[in-house]
Homo-oligomer: A and B are copies of this chain.
Amino acid sequence: MADVVRPQRAATVGCGVIGAAWASRLVLSGVDVAISDPSPEAESIMRDVLANAVRAWDDLGLRTDQRGEWRIASSIADAVADAEFVQESVPERPDLKRAVYAEIEQALPSDALLASSTSGIKPTELQAELAHPERFVVGHPYNPVYLLPVVEVVGGEATASETIERAKAIYQSIGMHPVHVRVEIEAFIGDRLLEAVWREALWLVNDGVATTQEIDDVMTYGFGLRWAQMGLFETYRVAGGTGGFRHFIEQFGPALEWPWTKLMDTPPFTPELVDKIVEQSDEQSGHLDVRELERIRDRNVVGFLKVLEENKWAAGSAVAAQRERQG
């Protein structure tokens, strides 16, 4: 059933950390992938990320013997010429993305779908100059893309509703959990939340209230363990007890009126602030190689996903569905 929508051939344009992780998820899901990226490092990035992805899927107990083929294409046209589905992950510059789309459209089959990994630019803005804007959609993932199931699907003003449905089906066919963001806003859902935390955290560091390590500790030893399984609202529902969410709001809502956060703006990125963050981050994790941190992250996420699958809960269900799909 899933195979009806799962593409046989896809292209990924841009092969940084995100693009390579998309390509890895597609390849492990049995899709042939042509990769386009002008960087000479693209192939080695792809090899590294795919190796991580294979290890993670192995640890998760998913099959890795049904892989599609992958290759580095000689050009964008070469990559997309026979693709049914294109996922673009080039840097977050609207002008660059639009120039890339112009190249893609010259070679892309008319019935193929074109998706962007942008984490915040409105699809209406990105599709403005397309000859076929109706088949353009945003599919915003979270890294590591080969493990985290969520993808935000956002259409622009010119996106066809069938494009949304088809994108959701394609993402599901490669083990993901699409969330359709029905109202087009910049930064969508997740990055709005992330940015709110980021700004507040910058103030805490800027004002000397906490170090990067202390902020991370409060998250990882505390509420982070809640958010890997229940989000904000479900957690607070439980906190409200048997009275449901109304009780929670009655109990805690008024505290929102207190001047507790400093949300008005962002501290300017002065050299002093940048130095402070860089030094604190080095102090915190500088002794660990980034590749080693990635492996630790993946081992932890794999472990969490197994727990959630065993407990038949949220993100675990995406893994269970993928396992069933693999047969």
CB distance from A325 to the nearest CB of B (A): 17
Contacts of A193 in B (CB 8 A): 197, 200-201, 215, 218-219, 223
* A58 proximal to B (CB < 8 A): no
Contacts of A192 in B (CB 8 A): 200, 204, 260-262
Q: Report yes or no: B199 in contact with A196, Cβ–Cβ below 8 A.
A: yes
Contacts of A129 in B (CB 8 A): none
CB neighbors of B among A273-289 (8 A): 274, 277-278, 280-282, 284-286
A31-46 vs B, CB cutoff 8 Å, 1 = contact: the mask equals 0000000000000000
CB neighbors of B among A67-90 (8 A): none
- Given contacts A209-B183, A266-B256, A305-B225, is CB(A218)–CB(B190) below 8 Å? yes
Return the contact of A234 from the options B177, B284, B303 (Cβ within 8 A): B284
Q: Report yes or no: A299 in contact with B281, Cβ–Cβ below 8 A.
A: no
Q: How many A residues are at the interface, by size bracket?
A: 35 or more
CB distance from A122 to the nearest CB of B (A): 11
* A134 proximal to B (CB < 8 A): no
DSSP class of A's interface residues: helix, strand, loop or mixed?
helix
Report the Cα distance A191→B197, complex, angstroms: 11
Report the Cα distance A181→B211, complex, angstroms: 10
Chain B residue nearest to A273 (CB atoms) is B249
Contacts of A109 in B (CB 8 A): none
- Given contacts A209-B185, A244-B282, A256-B198, is CB(A229)–CB(B234) below 8 Å? no
* A157 proximal to B (CB < 8 A): no
* A57 proximal to B (CB < 8 A): no
Report the Cα distance A147→B64, complex, angstroms: 35
Q: Report yes or no: A297 in contact with B238, Cβ–Cβ below 8 A.
A: yes
* A189 proximal to B (CB < 8 A): yes
- Given contacts A218-B179, A227-B220, A311-B299, is CB(A269)–CB(B290) below 8 Å? no
Q: Report yes or no: B199 in contact with A237, Cβ–Cβ below 8 A.
A: no
CB neighbors of B among A138-154 (8 A): 142-143, 147-150, 152
A296-309 vs B, CB cutoff 8 Å, 1 = contact: the mask equals 11011101111110
Interface-forming stretch among A4-12, A22-30, A100-108, A313-321?
A313-321
Return the contact of A233 from the options B92, B179, B225, B277 (Cβ within 8 A): B277
Report the Cα distance A266→B255, complex, angstroms: 11
